[in-house]
Copies of this chain bind each other. A is one copy, B any other.
Amino acid sequence: MSDEATRLEAARDEFVTRWGIMGAQWGINRTMAQIHALLMTAPDVMSTDEVMDDLEISRGNAHTNLKDLVGWGLIRIVTKKGERKEFFEAEKDVWEIFRRVARERKRREIDPALETLRSCKAATDDMKSKDGKAFNDQMDQLEDFVSFASKMGDRVASMQHGKAIKLAMKIFG
């Protein structure tokens, strides 16, 4: 049984490491992804010091990334009565994780992108030359597509998990 505990620790380590590498590819800081993986698979809440020890990182690093994860809504602060320390706990429901990531990426990345596209389009709305019209049209197409996709994402992310699955089944057999 202690063998099982050892193997579990190894599997979890593997997961944390690889999730970190993946996060980096997605433009997310490696440590942040690792802490997320660690907490997603933690049987209990963890303190900053436990995270520091497990990942062998500094207090500053742990602190910053824990707070960023709270900002993304992917983990939350838990306090134990009688203890002054903060503990952290991850959202474990995958659908809920998806919803929160979707919501934040929209807010942080999609909305500003749409702003850019709209402003580049607006700046060329009155143009008469072939090139001016082509540019304006390209901005328009991009804007249309991104805003449409964003709306679809919103709709899906605001559904209950069960409903989303049913819908997908209906569409794709």
Contacts and interface: CB of A to CB of B under 8 A. Distances in A.
Interface of A: 1, 4-5, 7-8, 10-12, 14-15, 18-19, 22, 24-28, 40-41, 43, 92, 94-95, 98, 108-109, 112-113, 116, 119-120, 123-124, 127-132, 134-135, 138-139, 141-142, 144-145, 148-149, 151-152, 155, 165, 167-168, 171-172
Contacts of A109: 22, 25-26
A22 B142 contact: no
Number of copies: 2
Where chain A touches its partner, the secondary structure class is helix
B152 A95 contact: no
Contacts of A1: 128-129
